[in-house]
Structure 1
Amino acid sequence: MPQFSFIHFSLTPLTRILRATALGVGLGLACGSTAVAQVSPSEPTSVQKSYHIPAGTLSQSLNHFASEAGITLSFTPELVEGKQAQELNGSFAPYSGLQKLLQGSGLETVIKSDGSFSLKLAVPVAQLKTVKVTAAAESDTSYSYATKTASIVRGAESLKEIPQSVTVVTRKLIEDQNLTMMSDALAKAPGIVATTDGMGNPEFRSRGFVIDNYQVDSLGTSYTSTYRPDFDLAIYDRVEILRGADGLFSAAGEPGGTINLARKRPTDYLSSSVSLAYGSWDNARIEGDIGGAIAFDGKLRGRVVGVWQDREFFYRPADEQKQVIYGILEFDLTDSTTISGGASDQKVEGVTWMKGLPTFDDSSQLGLPRKVALNLDWATRDTTVKETFLTIDHEFNDNWSAKLSGMKQRYDFDYIQLSLQGPVDKATGLFGELGAFSEDDGNHSEGVDLSITGRFQAWGYLHKLVAGIDSRSSHGKEMRNNFEVDFPNGEVGIDDFPGLELPAPTVGGYNHGWPAWGAEQKGGYARLNLQVSDSAHVILGGRYANYRDYSSYELFDGAGNLIASEKNGWREDGIFTPYAAFTYDLTPAWTTYVSFTEVYKPQNSFAGPAEDPTKLDPITGRNYELGAKGSVLDGALNLSVALYSIERDGEAIQDMRYGEGSNFWLPLGEIVSEGVDLEVSGELAPGWEIFAGYTYNRNENEQSDVVYSELTPKHIFKLWSDYTLPGDLSQWTFGGGVTAKSEHANSGTYWVMTDAGWTQPPFEIKQGGYAVWDARVNYQMSDSWNLSLNLNNIFDENYYATLGRPSDGNWYGTPRNATITLRGQF
């Protein structure tokens, strides 16, 4: 495969630079400053909310309203030129609010098929060139590549005012690139490394660390079991990713980042869509989506989304059948209080290959055709994800609001799998270990959050506050069944695939497993944004939390009788993680920032040295970031750059005084991750949109002078761009993009059975740099219907998307494929 070389540069001094910057900011603040505050828009929503917009030009009032309502509004400058709008006071839905502003102007509101709004004269006139006014909201208004806000930090917040790197994969990006799963969206997001773990589940890394903090509508959830679901994107408006440690709302865990899935919400007008898609390997998919006002003059709104999918994979045998249903209701109890709730159910079943490929005993890849799976047609997996949620929003006045959110998730996971593990003997082609396993697993999580958001004036300035309390818990199980497979010849080799046939296994009672394990986190948080000058803000905050986890293990004999059990538990209270940042507005469109937060991660699953085998202390550390965010082309194009440094102390490393495979550990690891993030999103010119990012990362364990996360390439570049032809050809849109990564590897030790018993030899598996190109063409058949063709990996690049171990976990990237989609919006 072709090798891609990248410029190499070192960021070793970055930590010192960021520390010095933070110190300089602190000294500057100590000297004091004077300020006059600027009012930021209130939190936007798609439902009724209160507005206070003073009388002024119609253009200014419409811009103000669109920003606060979080809608996409298009109009011609000529339409509003010289017109005035009266003062707008009261509670309005987007459509009724626009109509109120337009009274006496001779204009009227038009609801477009994609859910956006436009204006027109009451008497038709020739169509003129349009100007877009876009403001992202908490509903599906993200129908562009650029968005101005994100809700990952509790409520909609301007991206420019969040002093950390945040990426939003909008609904338009999801549809244009034909992204159907959360893992698809993360694979296209700047700076994210999307892989498959050793059990066939999606895994994501950012800045060298695994992302293990998840949110749904800003409410934290977690997965303590081995298995993490991959969510279907049909029920979500957008995917938000915060890169780096989140010391306020997630706190404990890896500092790689946080993923927030923003659900689709009801609109206040009738809107529906349907899509029918068919792609390579018999991938058939149907989506339906309908929502709008139901009763009580639009105070009761609802939305329902459904998915049916039946597909095979590029490797065989493997197939999947999926059904998804999602429903949500919103009701305005009063002009200031809205309650919303709903449920979703995602069921996936089929013949599933979970383990991936092994390597030869010299760590070289097997070189099997990509269509070959080390699998049999009785190896099945059934997964179900059920979710219920409830939210109450209340606005006390124009400045203060409160929100109570609750969610329950239930993830059940049962499977039967063939296990042919490596390494494969290079001389004979035989697998190192033959077996199979069956498990009954699951993960149940609950979360509750109560927060208050507001702004207040003090000392002549306007300030903002977010504070709240939350509780989240996650409980899992992993029970392995007795299992027998008849291997007639007592050996299996790679030459037996494809075509290997084995009788279906007999599954008995439990063999061993963890009937209960989990974690709980309860805490409070606060963030105060103080405006200290015309251009400067100081942000101070922190999280105070208590942590608990537990596990139980059981061992059964061949008859299914319990013969041994063990229970473990751990807790730590009063953990405080501080957060601080400073932002400075260079211009109304550009802001610079520096931020700091601490890192905390329990590692009680590791025993200390033999002379003191207590649980290891938690990992602690620091996250520094220095950056700039802004927009050009009248706000149509967003740009951002960030330098970061993450330090972690006390990482568990194996106590080699007791040899390889020791179960004793020392808290001596010192992990440093440094790098650069660059991102651009939005409209380069009318009809030409772009979403791109470049990241550089250097990470290592300074105690051992080895790379900490070799799976993270030093260089990653991702690009997607779409262009709609002008004039009479405007029904045609062409798009394309690339994902390019520099060389990377995976190394370490792994367990293998030899004639001398269990040993733990070293390994190193490498992947050279590569680039995968995609393309798209779309034809707008009418105002409601469009037909698109997506081509992925158009040059059929042969590469490994995931590097595992010699035993298993190596996965090919998807070969060239195509999908044609017919989509209607009404």
Structure 2
Amino acid sequence: MGFSTFTARSRGHLLLTALLLAGTAVGTVPSIAEAQSAATRIDIPAQPLDAAIRALMRATGAQITYPADLSANRQSSAVAGTFGTVEALSHLLAGTGLAYRQTGAHAFTLEPAPAASGHAVQLGPVRVAGEEGGPVSPTSDPAATEGSGSYAMLHPSRTATRMGLSIRETPQSVSVVTRQQIDDLALTDLPQVLDRVPGITVGRNDSERFTFYSRGFEVENVQFDGVPNTVDAASQYTTTLADSAVYDRVEVVKGATGLLTGAGYPSATINLVRKRPARDFQASAEVSGGSWDRYRGVADVSAPLAAEGRIRARVVAAVQNAGSYVNYYSRNMRNVYGIVEGDLGPRTTLSAGVDYMTTRAKGSSFGHIPLFYSDGTRTDFDRSFNPAARWAYWNNESTNIFASLKHEWGQDWKLDLAASHLRQTRDALFGSAYYGQVDKATGAGIRMLSGYIPNQATTNAVNLAVTGGFDLLGHRHELMLNGTFSRQDRASQQYASVFTTIDNYFQWNGNAAQPSFTKSFDRDTRTHEKGLAAAIRLRPAERLSVIGGARVSWYSLYDGNRYVSDGSLSVSDDLHINGKVTPYAGVVYDVMPHWSLYGSYTDIFRPQTYYKYGNGSPLAPLTGQSLEAGIKGAVLQDRLNVSLALFRIRQNNYAQMDGGITPQGDESYIAVSGITSKGVELELSGSIAKDWNIYGGYTYRTSKMPPQPDVILSAVNTNQPEHLLKMSTSYRLPAALRRLTVGGSLSWQSSTYYQQSGSPYFRADQPAYALVGLMMRYAFDNGLSLSANINNLFDKTYMPGLGSYGTGVYGDPRSFLISAKYRF
């Protein structure tokens, strides 16, 4: 490749030192051998090798990687006693015919032993190869999917309970989009990633705003590397446009998740897990080009900054300029992520980094195409129609500074302390011609709504988790303690909106005069949330595990307006919720070595102070309870995860307009209880054969509201499909065609509709539709690969998520993306 080892590492040192100030000394760090000297109590019976290795990783915190087919039909030896990681691994592999190489302080890779031996053999250091043969070095994240070549989560996840349970051990539905799937399908932003998750739908409100739904309810709860962060209505626009280049994987836990996240909807939690530095030098560069003048470049460099990777760093940069099928609309994105990580000791790791993103959109809409003509029939504007004024823009900026300290004691005890400082700004000037209904004959009836909506938000968050195991009555049990604190300060400058009449909407081309805007008041919103959670996982029998826990939350919100005209202060909300308890319970029973039955009850709450009764007092918090039961399996030598879940969610204190007015002049609401969403979900992820990945599932969901005076509103979540099917696959061809990988995706959903809540109750229907995508990649032997992706192959016209402001947004027409990637 034209680089010696010294040259490649030297260049990596120079680049990362300049970008990350990585020359700061971390301290004296012991050698790899010293790092593995601490002993841990281990009790792993003889069993299939895959399961035994997972148990060893949970017990020691080590990362053990190997090709998926290497463990097939191999049985481990029993390990019982107090051992260091190296000694335990040697015992585990005895008689398997496998050897191990130690590639880092806590990292190992397995391969066939060079000669027959009754004991495991330790080989020299080696680098792990990814699916296409590119070098992928182990990182400090034991659950990392990068380089695995798989669509399955092969290691435990901490998103649901923080206990580091496998998907089969977790009594909730857990979906994971791995790095391999992100790369195969060219999923470049968060909406595209979540659009591949079974049971998740992605609604489009206008050109900039997306809303995610799970099991009929909106998803607000987002974690960054496990640290909670609420994506509220005012600051979601930056997070939802996040570029995927910086993430190793995206995990989604479905249902109520109040144990770790506190406030939110009973829908799901999204955990965005960033890439970690590798212990050896590795780098890649990728350029792409596609439909509508879309050009993209990604650079990813990781390098050790001290011997044996004791100090290491990584930088990921992504740049994208893109036009659109929508007239005179474009959005450019810049994303830079950098992290430095160091081993302070054999079991202590400190890391710090920054994630910066900015987007610049021109011709952006606020609300989109009106759905109805004045006679109630559907409009039929072209997909390229843009209701936005040409001077409209929407700019977002986000800076997330974060740090974490991880420490491991003996007996599986771990401490994880993480903190982040997130600043998000929005600078948006909008003018959208959508307000009203179009007269078919004259084009009259539409007004352009214009406004200026700047916003600045700062969120500081701290999360402390302690987890560990203990022996009691002959079995191993686990305990989790978690404390969280977050504070968000949001300032926004409120300007009076302006309406402009459009004489003939059929002649609209975006050339409208820009009005002037008058500032009305400054709005100050402060949200504080604290929580303490505890959970215990007991194993009263070898095959049975029971999880019980609860979180106690303290929540406060202040919302005040300072008026420009006279300097007066008006306080809309000053809410305090103290000691709110959200319980968690789950049970898992292993009916066979690779199959488990499970059930769970989870809870969550969400303050809703913006909704007021007729007397002006706020509605009580929205509450959501989730019941889930099902079966999970890990089959085909644990290469394929399979699950079937039955779920039922009940929501109380749902806000419904009652037609009245509060003393402050706002619309008044009443609280409705008993809204239910129930259904069934089937999911599978992993490999069904060597080099054949598959991921997807089917969801059936129905939602109902108790009978109300207004029967039109008795159906809820009608813009979400009852039936949803998603599948993705890739296959690397055998023999002489092994360098070629082909695959694709399929999604199908049943019909949806939007109906006006007031007279004349116009209704817009979206018939059922299917979308097909194709992919192909060819890997050369010098680290270069070429890829092609086609989305919406049959050019289906559809609207995902009807009804935002009575408008609709078309989904993307057929498009293509060609990419070239080089791994150094």
Counterpart of 2:642? Answer: 639
Out of 285, 290, 298, which is 1:287 matched to? 298
Q: Is the 8 A contact 2:748 2:769 kept in 1?
A: yes
Counterpart of 2:352? Answer: 341
Task: Please give the secondary structure, in 2, of the residue aligned with 1:374.
Answer: coil
Structure 1 residues 712 and 393, CA gap change in structure 2 (3 angstroms):
same
Deviation at 1:85, TM superposition (A): 13
Counterpart of 2:620? Answer: 617
Out of 346, 357, 366, which is 2:369 matched to? 357
Counterpart of 1:444? Answer: 458
Q: Is the 8 A contact 1:225 1:477 kept in 2?
A: no
Superposition TM-score, scaled by structure 1 size: 0.83
Matches within 5 A, 1:745-760: 745-749=753-757
- Farther off after superposition, 145-154 or 475-484: 475-484
Structure 1 residues 75 and 691, CA gap change in structure 2 (3 angstroms):
closer
1:151 matches 2:167: no
Per-residue CA deviations over 1:52-77 (Å, capped at 9, x if unaligned) read 58999997897776775345312886
Structure 1 residues 781 and 667, CA gap change in structure 2 (3 angstroms):
same
Structure 1 residues 793 and 268, CA gap change in structure 2 (3 angstroms):
same
Where relative contact order (Cα < 8 A, 6+ residues apart) is larger, the structure is 1
Counterpart of 1:5? Answer: none
- Cα distance in 2 for partners of 1:540, 1:58 equals 29
Counterpart of 1:501? Answer: 511
- Cα distance in 2 for partners of 1:398, 1:298 equals 26
1:568 matches 2:573: yes
Deviation at 1:491, TM superposition (A): 2.9
- Cα distance in 2 for partners of 1:344, 1:113 equals 27
Deviation at 1:466, TM superposition (A): 0.8
Q: How many residues align?
A: 744
Q: Is the 8 A contact 1:155 1:218 kept in 2?
A: no
Matches within 5 A, 1:210-249: 210-228=218-236, 229=238, 230-249=241-260
Structure 1 residues 269 and 79, CA gap change in structure 2 (3 angstroms):
farther
Task: Please give the secondary structure, in 1, of the residue aligned with 2:370.
Answer: coil
Q: Is the 8 A contact 2:660 2:669 kept in 1?
A: no
Q: Is the 8 A contact 1:382 1:414 kept in 2?
A: yes
Deviation at 1:597, TM superposition (A): 1.9
Deviation at 1:310, TM superposition (A): 0.8
Per-residue CA deviations over 1:250-275 (Å, capped at 9, x if unaligned) read 23221011010001001111111111
Superposition TM-score, scaled by structure 2 size: 0.84
Counterpart of 1:131? Answer: none
- Cα distance in 2 for partners of 1:508, 1:667 equals 36
Matches within 5 A, 1:608-757: 608-610=613-615, 613-656=616-659, 663-704=667-708, 706-749=714-757
Q: Is the 8 A contact 1:58 1:85 kept in 2?
A: no
Q: For 2:512, give the aligned amino acid.
A: L
Q: For 1:323, give the aligned amino acid.
A: R
- Cα distance in 2 for partners of 1:142, 1:761 equals 55
- Cα distance in 2 for partners of 1:356, 1:76 equals 50
Structure 1 residues 232 and 492, CA gap change in structure 2 (3 angstroms):
farther
Matches within 5 A, 1:141-290: 143-148=149-154, 149-153=156-160, 154=162, 156-197=164-205, 200-228=208-236, 229=238, 230-290=241-301
Q: Is the 8 A contact 2:205 2:368 kept in 1?
A: no
Counterpart of 1:31? Answer: none
1:606 matches 2:624: no
Counterpart of 2:814? Answer: 816
- Farther off after superposition, 382-391 or 473-482: 473-482
Q: For 1:525, give the aligned amino acid.
A: A
- Farther off after superposition, 342-351 or 470-479: 470-479
Q: Is the 8 A contact 2:64 2:109 kept in 1?
A: no
Counterpart of 1:462? Answer: 476
Deviation at 1:679, TM superposition (A): 0.3
Deviation at 1:379, TM superposition (A): 1.1
Structure 2, gaps ≥5 residues long: 1-33, 88-100, 115-119, 136-140
Task: Please give the secondary structure, in 2, of the residue aligned with 1:798.
Answer: coil
1:511 matches 2:520: yes
Instruction: State, as a whole percentage, how many aligned pairs show the same letter.
Output: 28
Out of 591, 611, 619, which is 2:596 matched to? 591
Q: Is the 8 A contact 2:535 2:547 kept in 1?
A: yes
- Cα distance in 1 for partners of 2:68, 2:256 equals 41
- Cα distance in 1 for partners of 2:262, 2:54 equals 37
Deviation at 1:762, TM superposition (A): 3.4
Matches within 5 A, 1:378-389: 378-389=391-402
Counterpart of 1:30? Answer: none
Per-residue CA deviations over 1:627-678 (Å, capped at 9, x if unaligned) read 111111111111001001111222222335789x983322233201100111
- Cα distance in 1 for partners of 2:336, 2:536 equals 39
Per-residue CA deviations over 1:294-336 (Å, capped at 9, x if unaligned) read 1144210110000111110110111122211110011111112
Deviation at 1:788, TM superposition (A): 0.8
Q: For 1:74, give the aligned amino acid.
A: P
Q: Is the 8 A contact 2:49 2:71 kept in 1?
A: no
Per-residue CA deviations over 1:592-611 (Å, capped at 9, x if unaligned) read 1110123322223222244x
- Cα distance in 1 for partners of 2:366, 2:611 equals 27
Q: Is the 8 A contact 1:54 1:88 kept in 2?
A: no
Q: Is the 8 A contact 2:146 2:180 kept in 1?
A: no
- Cα distance in 1 for partners of 2:820, 2:516 equals 44
Q: Is the 8 A contact 1:461 1:531 kept in 2?
A: yes
Task: Please give the secondary structure, in 2, of the residue aligned with 1:664.
Answer: strand
Q: Is the 8 A contact 1:113 1:271 kept in 2?
A: no
Q: Is the 8 A contact 1:357 1:374 kept in 2?
A: yes
